Each structure stands twice: as C-alpha cells, then as structure tokens.
C-alpha cells in the first residue's frame, strides 16, 4: 500500500532587509529557494509560494524526501536579519503544474471525426491547446 505524502510543509525562512526597502528571503534548508517582498506580509506570501513551488518540483515530482527542517534557534543570523517559520501547501502547485492526465469523454460530428482521423490529428493535444488558448494559460 502506497503512503500518501502530506502537502503541508514548514521551514524556517531568513528575512534580510534590503537597503532600498523590502526584504530578501531565503530558506537555508532548501537549495536555491529564495524570494523577496515589499513588506513582511508580502514577503510571507511570496515565501510560502516559493517554498511550495520548490518542494513540489524538487521533491514531490522526483519522489525524493524533502530535507529535515532546521530548528529556528539553530540558525545563524546577521544583526539585521530575523527568522520565522513559513508553512506551505503544495496542493495548488500539484493542480497547476502536475502532469496527471484526466480522461474526458466528448461528442463531435462523425464527419469531423472522420476528417481528423484521416489527418492523424491528436485529439487530446488539440483539446489541450484549445483550452489553454481559451483560458489564456500557457
């Protein structure tokens, strides 16, 4: 029986004030996971989004275990920095970037089906392309 992975993760983030304003934010436990925010509130939202995307693409998609979260008291901070825990839920990333296929049944006129089959049209690809264009997502 396969164990389902929880979509909830919590990691410490280090906020570093930028000279021109705002914050640079990075996660010491997750390689190349960093972002920025104009305010602390903005930074928290951006950090949660960045963390979710990095966890999803680097660990869930590759079926690799995510690294352990370092206790916040073990982090070494500069005088102007502060650390806080950031939580994320990878469910939305799974939905947006996942490649799981969903079977759909549709009805088209027979003459259109015959013409498309004759031209070796990939129905699934045409439907995907048309939906992306209609929804303005790429």
- Token pair of 121 as six digits: 């049209």
* Distance, CA of 51 to CA of 14 (rounded, Å): 13
The 3-class SS string of 21-70 reads CCEEEECCCCCCCEEEECCHHHHHHHHHHHHHHHHHHHHHCCCCCCCCCC
* Distance, CA of 110 to CA of 108 (rounded, Å): 6
List residues bridging with 25 in a β-sheet.
Answer: 15, 35
Could you tell me the residue ranges of all domains in the chain?
Answer: 8-97, 101-138
Q: Which fold would CATH assign to domain 8-97?
A: Double Stranded RNA Binding Domain (3.30.160)
Helix, strand, or coil (residue 122)? coil
Written as tens digits, the pLDDT of the chain (138 aa) is 445 667 899 999 999 999 999 999 999 999 999 999 999 999 999 999 999 999 998 998 888 999 999 999 999 999 999 999 999 999 887 777 766 667 778 888 999 988 988 998 888 888 888 888 888 876
Handedness of CA 52, 54, 57, 60 (dihedral sign): negative
């Amino acid at each position: 029986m396969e164990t389902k992975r929880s979509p909830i993760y919590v990691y410490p983030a280090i906020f570093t004030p930028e000279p021109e304003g705002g914050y640079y934010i990075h996660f010491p436990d997750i390689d190349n996971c960093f972002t920025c925010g104009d305010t602390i509130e903005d930074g928290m939202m951006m950090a949660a989004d960045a963390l979710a995307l990095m966890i999803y693409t680097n660990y869930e998609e590759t079926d690799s275990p995510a690294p352990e979260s370092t206790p916040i008291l073990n982090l070494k901070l500069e005088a102007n920095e502060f650390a806080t825990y950031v939580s994320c839920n990878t469910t939305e990333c799974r939905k947006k970037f996942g490649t799981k296929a969903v079977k759909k049944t549709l009805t088209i006129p027979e003459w259109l089906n015959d013409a498309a089959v004759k031209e070796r049209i990939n129905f699934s690809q045409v439907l995907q392309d048309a939906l992306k264009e209609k929804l303005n997502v790429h």
